[in-house]
Structure 1
Amino acid sequence: MILLQANQIARQFGAETLFENIQLEVSSQARIGLVGRNGAGKSTLLKIIAGIEEPDKGTITKTKNVTLGYLAQDTGLDSTKTVWEEMLEAFSDVRQIEKRMHELEIQISQTPPEDKDYETVLAQYDRLQQEFIERNGYGYENEMRAVLNGFQFDESFYDKPTQSLSGGQKTRLALAKKLLQSPDLLILDEPTNHLDIETLNWLEGYLQNYRGALLIVSHDRYFLDKIVNEIYEISRSKMQHFKGNYSRYLELKEQQLASQWKAYEKQQAEISKLEDFVAKNIVRASTTKRAQSRRKQLEKMERIDRPEGKEKSANFLFHIAKSSGNIVFQLENGAIGYNDHVVSEPINLDIKRQEAIALVGPNGIGKSTLLKSIIGEIPLIKGEERFGTNVAIGYYDQGQEELNHNKTILAELWDEHPTTPEVDIRRVLGSFLFSGEDVDKSISQLSGGEKARVSLAKLAMEQKNFLVLDEPTNHLDIDNKEVLENALIDYEGTLFFVSHDRYFINRIATKVVELSEDGSHLYLGDYDYYLEKKQEEEELAAYEKEEEPQEKTMTAGKKSFVQSKEQQKQVRSLQRKVTQIEEQLSSTEEKISQIENEMTASENLDDPIKLNELDQNLQSTRQQQDDLTEEWENLSIQLEELESQN
């Protein structure tokens, strides 16, 4: 069922068009991701769809009685009500039913069965009770507890006024309330902001089971891949629709661009051929009629626009002035906190040259504090720290507090590098998408994404060999995140960074350090490896908890468990390989179908050279398909044998 349609929506600011001719359709249980560059108009479009703003052109049509819930980014609850009272408001209708049911219960108890109104009151009570059950009336308080717990609010928060919470907590509470309201269409603008990885994982699980439709703006690619199954992209004021999650959207975009270039180049070749014929034959009496015919053909031809390709992205690298020694930074038995209150210990770090280490952990555990301790801004409560030789630290602050809001972009960099020619400063800023008069903008006028790019530009100019980064992807759109990732992958120095962007961690990190109340724990792999090891640790701990207390030696039961875990690991590995091959087979089948269509195309039937080329390509692709099928069959047999052993 269609819940909502956006038809020919446009938004203009003076003479400038933000977007136009926007078509969007939301069906029940849809899972839609809305993507595009910062400034493309995503948040504005969400407000129009939610009815908060009016479009300059076009209409929004909704199904009768459909309920919409909208949460803007960084929106926080702020009232004198307690956390529990705020959550209860999400169930005001259910509580009204509950109140009326109690009134009817009293009335029923006071009405004799032979009374003429008794059956009427009883029937009314039955109807209300049925509605109460359907709306989880007997379980809504448990649902509130589950959602609050998912957002890291335990019972100690229930009686606290919302106005006493931190900004991040208020934002999480607003999202919790919106989820509990459970509208038919839930519209979320950057819901993953201010969430740690544990909460992100919980939110993904909750949204995957959400009964209504979802329309989400997010720069978190890992989150989009888990939640959405269709993508709407706003680019250059236009909108396109793609089926699939974010990764599939990227594949389809590449295929679309390749197809557009092929069609464009084919037409350009045809145009060139026709124009050449006209130029050579228009003045010759014997061929002038044919030349005129070609000219008319050119005039009637519907010209294909040159493909625009990707929008312009930042393009930069991080260089180092001098290499450090092999040992970059070491910390033994460290402790961090505030006013002698320890939040995490013991912390042990051993960072070597060219390592890329991600620091993860729940909000409030002290990740940013640890980074500031490393750069010397906040002293350690205790611990022995040592830097290696020639270590030069570059620090990225997620709040961009190092920026002077009274300066222009150009002055912000030039004042720190006064001997560098202005043309070189401008060249650096140009690589971060600041050109022309843009460099004269005041820092105070910039958006969060623009400030982030200025901070990264400053960092790039410093040419340090040890980068300590606190949430470097915050405020960046997806395209610029990818540019940053590529720059850090090519970086020859050492990285130690905090991020809740799991896709970013997967691409950058060679190790993961988890921070908790019990100190640090090192994992020798990327984020997916870290998750896998965490799951194994939790399952092993749960198994050991169930065993009777016994000697420290490994029992037969525990040995069996460890062997079983190893088999499960092999099963998961085989399952991933089987899935990858199935995706490759699907892609191969599409390619075979495409080649076969090209072979039957009229322009190729009379071209033996082209047909021979296509035939060779077809045979090669079919051989690839046979090889993949054989590999899939062998892996499937292995997988079946392992699963039967479990």
Structure 2
Amino acid sequence: MILLQVQQVMRRFGADVLFENVQMDIQEHGRVALVGRNGAGKSTLLKMIAGETVPDEGQISMRKGLTIGYLAQDQGLNSDNTIWEEMSSVFAELHKLEAQMHQLEAQLSDPKIMADETAYQQTLKTYDQVQTDFQQKNGYGYQAEIRGVLHGFQFDADVYDKSVTALSGGQKTQLALAKLLLEKRDLLILDEPTNHLDVETLTWLESYLQSYSGALLIVSHDRYFLDRVVNEVYDLSHHEMVHYTGNYDQYVQQKAARIQAEWKHYEKQQAEISKLEDFVNRNIVRASTTKRAQSRRKQLEKMDRLERPDGDEKTAHFGFHAAKQSGNIVLTVKDAAVGYDGRTLSEPDTLNVKKHEAIAIVGPNGIGKSTLLKSILGQIPFIKGQAVFGTNVVTGYYDQEQKNLHDKKTVLSELWDEHPTTPEKDIRTILGSFLFTGEDVDKPINALSGGERARLLLTKLAMQNDNFLILDEPTNHLDIDSREVLEVALNDFDGTLLFVSHDRYFINQVATSVVEVSPTGTELFLGDYDYYIDKKQEQAELAAAAASEAAENAASAAPDSSVAAPVDTRSKGQQNYQASKQQQREKRKLERTVAALEAKMTALDEQATAIQEQMAQPEVSADVGQLQDLQKQLDALTTEQATVEEDWTEQAEALEELD
């Protein structure tokens, strides 16, 4: 069932067309991504769909009674309530039912009502109805639901009484998203929901959205997030919309194939046009061939000429190059401690960076990742230890806070002042490769967007020709196209990389190894992000197996044994882990299957209820033909429900046996 349709929508800015003829269908339970470059109009379109603005042309239609939740980019929650009060306000209807229940309970214990059998039975009947309604609406579980969502966003119980006004901007945005999730709207529209989220919270949010009962429409630059959440993609580019089925990776492959096919058809037509034009030019003035030439000319005039594919968008093209090579040992940090104001964030921290390595630093927000980079660069002193650079190492630094830009300078002067001997023409050429063209180079830096400032920082970095790049969140503010260009440039870089990033897709594309930072120090994983996650899962399973083995050994130990034989719990734990590894995989697979079937049953129930409600409408019940069609749909749903329920029972029993 279609929840919402965007039909032939256009948006103008003055005489310029931002987009036109845009069409989009959002199905019930749809998982839709909207992608496109910065400035393509994604946020503008979302505001139209959310009802905040209206199209210049076209229309947006939706199912009657559709509820929409909309989170704008970096939209924080403003409230004088505490965190708990604000989340609890979502369940105002349940609060009323709960108050009514307590009122009825008091009446049932009133001697006057107890003495009147008729009044007592009537009150008891009302109480049963209210209690059933309360239970069906999750009255006994909504508080646990609030706690679960707050915990997912890293709000623990000790901050529930904290005022919303006392939170940071990022926390207010997270809380706004948490409230939307609890509201369970039919359609959830999210504009960059992954901003300000660390990897742990991102992973939780992905899992939550995968089982969300409503439909999703998401704009995000986080490609890893899109891969795990969406199953269709709308690409807003060239002022138009193109629809693809599948997740982000599948969209990339399909788009590349489409563009390749368009180029093939375009080049074939261009060759045909050239051939016809050449014939006309050679034969139009010759009496013997004039008619044939005129026929070819008419053929040319009638031809529906294809537009040059992707001809109206520019792509940044740049690279990083090391002016001189470093030694094999680039950086050594041993048993260091990082923090500030006397507070240690992580210890012991050890790094051994070798030439041509690309090391990603990961860890939760606030653990000291950026502090570690700044300590290595000497901007914040180590609490303990030091950083030792190798021979001929020249460092370049990308600061996520963008503090090393001068707001009062123009784009051109920011570079030219640092490279005064470079001709202006060459500076402009370099800026052009980073998409600063024409009047863009005369813009003051304080007038640049976050994405433009990021590209300018990368321009400065590329001109320095350093051999060791230290990057702090380099993909922040960049659109997907710019991120992909940056990935190519870094993969072609003939130096060494050390970078902090929350962009898991970016880490997978660039990193040769991952270093996790925690309060207990650093740990090295020799692979990309997916390898790191797999290893962390193995470690967790191994630790659980060892703990289980130790508990079994302790329980089976003879109480009168004064000297017990030493138990190699690590060895046994490893054996136990290897033996149960396959079983754990089967269990996780079954859990996913059971969850998917439960979601399917819920969806079918909702569809059946919607059809029954439609059949009950007077105008439908009077239309025999429409009623028969709806009954056929209902019968088909009932059959499918029985099949799915049977599958669920089988899988749930198999899962119970593994438990």
What amino acid is aligned across from residue 74 of structure 2 in structure 1? D
Q: Using the alignment, how far apart are the partners of 2:207 and 2:192 within structure 1? A: 17
Partner of 1:5: 5
Distance 1:568 1:503 in 2: 29
Corresponding position of 1:509: 511
Distance 2:215 2:585 in 1: 36
Q: Following the alignment from structure 1 to structure 2, what is the Cα–Cα distance between the partners of residues 447 and 286?
A: 64
Residues 452 and 113 (structure 1), Cα distance of their counterparts in 2 relative to 1, 3 Å cut: farther
Give how far 1:124 is off. 4.8
Cα deviation 1:42-70 (Å, max 9, x = unaligned): 11111111111222222221211111101
Please say if 1:71 is aligned against 2:71: yes
Q: Tell me which moved more, 471-480 or 144-153.
A: 144-153
Once the two structures are TM-superposed, the CA of residue 188 in structure 1 deviates from its matched residue by 0.5
| 1:351 corresponds to 2:366 | no
Aligned to 1:81: 81
Secondary structure of the structure 2 residue equivalent to 1:383: coil
SS of the residue 2:185 aligns to: coil
The separation in 1 between residues aligned to 2:213 and 2:390, in whole angstroms, is: 55
Question: How far did residue 552 of structure 1 move?
Answer: 5.3
CA distance 1:128–1:237, change in 2 (3 Å): farther
1:563 — aligned with what?
A: 578
Asked whether the equivalents of residues 238 and 312 of structure 2 are also in contact (C-alpha less than 8 Å), the reply is: no
Give the aligned partner of residue 30 of structure 2.
30
Structure 1 residue 218 displacement after superposition: 0.3
Deviation at 1:555, TM superposition (A): 6.7
Equivalent position SS for 2:241: strand
1:510-529 to 2 correspondences below 5 Å: 510-529=512-531
Query: What is the 5 A alignment of 1:439-518?
Result: 439-518=441-520
- Matched with 1:201 is 203
- AA aligned to 2:459 is A
Q: 1:127 to 1:369 in 2, by over 3 A?
A: same
For residues 95-494 of structure 1, the aligned pairs below 5 Å read: 95-110=95-110, 111=113, 124-282=126-284, 288-308=290-310, 311-494=313-496
Deviation at 1:2, TM superposition (A): 1.4
Q: Deviations over 1:514-563 (max 9, x none)?
A: 01111111111111110000000011111122223664524774243243
Q: Is the 8 A contact 1:204 1:226 kept in 2?
A: yes
Structure 1 CA distance, aligned partners of 2:585 and 2:103? Answer: 60
SS in 1 for 2:386: strand
- 2:637 match: none
Higher mean displacement: 254-263 or 148-157: 254-263
Q: What is the Cα deviation at residue 16 of structure 1?
A: 1.6
CA distance in 2, matches of 1:363, 1:559: 32
Contact 1:469-1:497 within 8 A present in 2 as well: yes
Aligned length: 572
Deviations 1:447-502 (A, max 9, x none): 11000001111111111111111100000001100111111111111111100000
Range that drifts further, 394-403 or 55-64 = 55-64
Q: Which amino acid aligns with 2:164?
A: T
Q: Which amino acid is the alignment partner of residue 203 of structure 1? A: L
AA in 2 matched with 1:558: G
1:260 Cα offset (Å): 1.5
Distance in structure 2 (CA, Å) of the matches to 1:257 and 1:333:
52
Amino acid at match of 2:494: E
Q: Is the Cα contact below 8 Å between 2:541 and 2:577 reproduced in 1?
A: no
Deviation of 1:306 (Å): 2.4
Question: For the residues of structure 2 that align with 1:310 and 1:19, how far apart are their CA atoms?
Answer: 13
Equivalence for 2:636 = none
**Is the counterpart of residue 21 in structure 1 residue 39 in structure 2?**
no
Q: Kindly tell me: are residues 128 and 53 of structure 1, through their superposed partners in 2, closer, same or farther at Cα, counting changes over 3 Å?
A: farther
Task: Return the offset for 1:279.
Answer: 4.4
Query: Which whole-Å CA distance do the structure 1 matches of 2:84 and 2:202 have between them?
Result: 22
Q: d(CA) in 2 for partners of 1:157 and 1:185?
A: 30
Asked whether the equivalents of residues 282 and 291 of structure 1 are also in contact (C-alpha less than 8 Å), the reply is yes
Moved more, 30-39 or 417-426: 417-426
TM, length-normalised to structure 1: 0.84
Q: Is the 8 A contact 2:545 2:574 kept in 1?
A: no
Percent identity between the two aligned chains: 61
Write out aligned runs for 1:555-594 (5 A): 557-564=572-579
Report how far residue 76 of structure 1 moved.
1.8
> In the TM superposition, what is the alpha-carbon distance from 1:278 to its structure 2 partner?
4.1
Task: Give the distance between the partners of 2:109 and 2:295, measured in 1 at CA.
Answer: 95
Give me the whole-angstrom Cα distance separating, in 2, the residues matched to 1:490 and 1:160: 48
Q: CA distance change for structure 1 residues 568 and 472 in 2, over 3 Å: closer, same or farther? A: farther
3-state SS in 1 of match to 2:462: helix
CA distance, structure 2, for counterparts of residue 429 and residue 269 of structure 1: 35
Alpha-carbon distance in structure 2 between the residues aligned to 1:408 and 1:278: 53
For the structure 1 residues 212 and 570, does the alpha-carbon distance in structure 2 shift closer, same or farther, using more than 3 Å as the test? closer
Question: Residue type matched to 1:351 in 2?
Answer: V
| Paired amino acid for 2:313 | E
Residue 573 of structure 2 aligns with an amino acid whose one-letter code is K
Aligned to 1:626: none
Residue pair 2:234, 2:243 contacting (<8 A) in 1 also: yes
Shift of 1:109: 4.8
State the distance in 2 between where 1:12 and 1:508 align: 39
Partner of 1:59: 59
**What letter is aligned with 2:28?**
S
**SS of the residue aligned with 2:327?**
coil
Give the CA deviation at 1:361.
Answer: 0.4
What TM-score results when the alignment is normalised by the length of structure 2?
A: 0.82
Tell whether the 8 Å contact from 2:545 to 2:577 is kept in structure 1 after alignment.
no
Tell me, in whole angstroms, the C-alpha distance in 2 between the residues paired with 1:82 and 1:422. Answer: 56
Q: Deviations over 1:568-610 (max 9, x none)?
A: 89999xxxxxxxxxxxxxxxxxxxxxxxxxxxxxxxxxxxxxx
2:624 paired residue number: none
Counterpart residue type for residue 472 of structure 1: P
Check whether the contact 1:257–1:309 (CA below 8 A) recurs between aligned residues: no
- In 1: Cα distance, 2:580 partner to 2:262 partner: 49
Post-superposition shift, 1:106?
3.5
Q: 2:49 — aligned with what?
A: 49
Superposed CA offset, 1:134-193 (max 9, x none): 332211111111111111111111111122222222222221111111111001011111
Counterpart CA distance in 2 for 1:353 and 1:248 is 34
Distance 2:477 2:429 in 1: 23
For 1:55 and 1:453, the matched residues in 2 are separated by 32
- The amino acid of 2:56's aligned partner reads D
- Consecutive unaligned residues of structure 2, counting only runs of 5 or more, are 554-565, 588-659
Aligned-residue offset at 1:300:
2.5
